[in-house]
Amino acid sequence: MASKYKRILLKISGQIIAGEKDFGFSKSALHHLRDEIKDAYNSNVEIGIVIGGGNIFRGKEAVESFSAERVSADYMGMIATLINALLLQNILEEQNIPTRVMSAINVAELAEPFIRRKALRHLEKRRIVIFACGTGNPFFTTDTAAVLRAIETESEAILKGTKVQGIYDKDPEKFKDAKFFRKLTYNHVIEKRLKVMDTTAFSLAMENNLPILVFNILKRGSLCKILSGNNIGTIVSDEV
């Protein structure tokens, strides 16, 4: 299968690898994700990945429930993303898929520091690069980190894998009358405060004309369908 894109950034939330659980890891979910990424890799697309850490630690809950200081809580969340990145690396390398974990904070014993030129070189050499620890700064989400890394690595699109078909006007798991959107502009998403990525992420994508495709990564073959040009999920761009 030939890919529509030469290089993409895949954004995955920590909840995807938790499966049906609120926290932790699901073996079946991890294996499903591994197979989706493997198929995408075999289509000759260059892949960067940003994965969240919500299945391990949620900074917002720590602040609200335990009166944790926000900056410290955000750094703890960054460490959670590193754990997920290292786990995903090991699972992919079991399938002989070369990967590199690059961290925005210094953890030299575990991952390479993020250096843009090195990241580009890894991608060019057909290595999957997993970007850990967000932007390395508190107050920024992994959604914003995904957009930033996509821009820095000259990716053609962000593919955000979720548990639902795409973007709705409200939570489709709670409201049966939720309206699905096939196409949206950045401004529409920001103005309507649609909760799929944070406003900073969408604003940064808009400024750099970076399309965002939101899709259900839990459906087998969905990632490859997008790469081959199939019109599934929701696309957010500068035109409807």
The pLDDT tens digits along the chain (240 residues) read 678 999 999 999 999 999 988 899 999 999 999 999 999 999 999 999 999 999 999 888 888 888 889 999 999 999 999 999 999 999 999 999 999 999 999 999 999 999 999 999 999 999 999 999 999 999 999 999 999 999 999 999 999 999 999 999 988 888 989 999 999 999 999 998 887 899 999 999 999 999 999 999 999 999 999 999 998 999 999 876
Token pair for 193: 């405060």
Half-sphere exposure of 182 (CA within 13 A, CB side): 4
Nearest residue to 231 (alpha-carbon basis) of 207, 202, 211? 211
Asked if residue 134 is part of any domain, the answer here is: yes
Nearest Cα neighbor of 112 from 139, 93, 131, 138 is 131
The reported pLDDT for the residue numbered 67 is 84
Strand pairing class (234-237; 212-216)? antiparallel
DSSP string, 92-155: HHTTT--EEEEESS--TTTSEE--HHHHHHHHHTT-EEEEESTTSSTT--HHHHHHHHHHHTT-
CATH code of the domain in which 196 resides:
3.40.1160.10
- What is the identity of the amino acid at 65? S
The answer to whether residue 2 is domain-embedded is no
User: Distance between CA 86 and CA 109 in Å, rounded?
Assistant: 12
Q: What pLDDT was estimated at residue 1?
A: 64
Query: Is 1 within a domain?
Result: no
Helix and strand numbers (H, E) in the chain are 9, 11
Residue 148 lies in a domain: yes
Q: Is 59 helix (H, G, I), strand (E, B) or coil?
A: helix
Tell me, yes or no, whether 192 lies in a domain: yes
Question: Is 229 domain-assigned?
Answer: yes
Contact 168, 181 (CB under 8 A): yes
Judged by DSSP in three states, 1 sits in coil
Strand partners, 12: 51, 161
| Calpha distance 149→81 (Å, rounded) | 15
Domain that holds residue 219: 7-237
If one counts the domains in the chain, the total is 1
The amino acid at 76: M
**What distance, in Å, lies between the first and last C-alpha atoms of the chain?**
28
